[in-house]
Amino acid sequence: MSDFDKAPRFDHPENITVGKARVIYALAVIGFSKVIYPEGWVLPGGRRTQDKIEAYRAAEAMDQMMGA
């Protein structure tokens, strides 16, 4: 396991793991160009959601795409 894999974002208790897929929960941050990213699950493409069911379904779909 690399140091990158040990980073706190991969250990957040709200992360959702389904098979080989993981949707991480990220805290709110202010990004480049002063863009505010709200707290929530980070979906494919970078969009965030605070809907746990949506995040879980995304993890299920990702796991299926990985051929689990």
16: nearest Cα among 51, 45, 46: 51
C-alpha triplet 14, 47, 36: angle, nearest 5°:
90
* Residue showing tokens 């690399």: 2
pLDDT attached to residue 11: 83
Question: pLDDT confidence of 1, banded at 50, 70, 90?
Answer: low
Q: Domains of the chain: which residue ranges?
A: 8-65
What is the rounded average pLDDT of the residues 19-40? 93
Question: pLDDT confidence of 10, banded at 50, 70, 90?
Answer: confident
pTM of the model: 0.79
pLDDT attached to residue 28: 93
**Ranges of H-type helices in the chain:** 52-65
State the burial class of residue 55 (Cβ atoms within 10 Å of its Cβ: 0-12, 13-18, 19+): buried
> Is residue 53 scored above 90 in pLDDT?
yes
